[in-house]
Structure 1
Amino acid sequence: MLHVHKEYSIMAVGPKMYETAFIVNAGLDDPQIEAVIEKVKETLTKHSGTVVDINKWGRKRFTYPIRKKNNGFYVIMEFSGPGDLVAKLERHYQLDENILRYLTIVMDKRALKAKAQRIAEAAAAAAAEPARIVDPAAEAVPTAPVAAPAVATEPKKEVNS
């Protein structure tokens, strides 16, 4: 009799969550970097993937040169999709000369639950904190002219001779 583990059957049903990090050549202009990021998004959606989140870290200096470059533009992207999507995405990375390095990992279910819990807690904390409306006129404290500080003088002591 074939035993199928319950967690495995649940994982096999839905698309997996992935996180990919890639470094774009920082020598490009901002519109060109955005075009490279858009090409990655198009590759994902073309092969039945769904982009969940994009986090742009910006330009960073390398500790050692990569392809004779000293700087790169870091991008972290979370997406979901079928298992063969990763191979197609990494093939795209290899063909694009503006992508210097890349790494794609499968996101752990426990990490996803912890992240969802952190987001929910942050949203609950933001909702629980009352919105404070700041009235600039009410907070302006009228200032009185400051008098010059008084000079403290000590009384003279008489010396008995």
Structure 2
Amino acid sequence: MTMNRKMYELTYILTSVLTSEQTAEVVVRVNEIIESAGGSISEVEEWGARKLAYPVDKKKNGYYVNLYFEGPGTLIPRIERALTIDDNVLRSLILAMDKSMVAHFHTRTAGRQGVAENQGNAETTTAGSPRRYIDYKDTDYLRRFVNEQGKMLPRRVLDVPAKKQRAIARAIKRARHLALMPYVADSVR
């Protein structure tokens, strides 16, 4: 019996009070959960300590970890439960990657592997054509679609198709959930 395997993206925020050894232990533990259930990890990116866009559990800083993995759908509840139980995890988000997200991932990893000509071609094609995948981690791009009060601009102002507006809204909601963007206007605290 073959299991239906999909690509997933997992981003989670660890509390900033952990030492580097404790942080590494949590990252290894999450990786082991994925691999023990039949998943395979493609890439682990540790973004490091960052200031949160708003306080989460009275914390203003967090340690971000982003990883891409492939596995069966039955793996997701196990990961969610482990991350929910762990007091060191402030927030987490698991996304099932669709075709455009997978293509974006492969383009990004090909460029990162040092293939200079592919990376240059990818930049010119994306600059000349409209963006296909709107990445929730690209907050500079997403801020163009939010007004001074932190509200999303309407479609008639942006002059974009409804499908793209929904993708932008989805990306902004994901960025806000992970405290990458504030829900209200940026204010000095």
> Who is 1:8 aligned against?
none
Whether 2:115 is the aligned partner of 1:123: answer yes
In the TM superposition, what are the counterparts of 1:146-157 in structure 2 within 5 Å? none
Instruction: Report runs of 4+ in structure 1 exceeding 3 Å deviation.
Output: 117-122
Aligned-residue offset at 1:13: 6.6
Q: More helix per residue: 1 or 2? A: 2
Unaligned runs of 5+ in 1: 1-11, 127-161
Query: Residue 97 of structure 1: SS of its match in structure 2?
Result: coil
**TM-score, length-scaled by structure 2:** 0.56
Between the aligned residues of both structures, percent identity stands at: 34
In the TM superposition, what are the counterparts of 1:40-59 in structure 2 within 5 Å? 40-59=30-49
> Who is 1:68 aligned against?
58
Max Rg structure: 1
> Who is 2:140 aligned against?
none
Quick check: 2:39–2:71 contact (8 Å CA) kept in 1? yes
User: After superposition, what is the alpha-carbon deviation per residue over 1:8-41, rounded to whole angstroms, capped at 9, x for unaligned?
Assistant: xxxx975100000000011111111000000100
CA distance in 1, matches of 2:108, 2:85: 37
Q: Tell me the C-alpha RMSD between the 2 structures.
A: 2.4
CA distance in 1, matches of 2:99, 2:62: 30
> Who is 1:7 aligned against?
none
Structure with the larger RCO, 1 or 2 (CA within 8 Å, 6+ apart): 1
> Who is 2:96 aligned against?
106
CA distance in 1, matches of 2:107, 2:88: 36
The count of aligned residue pairs is: 117
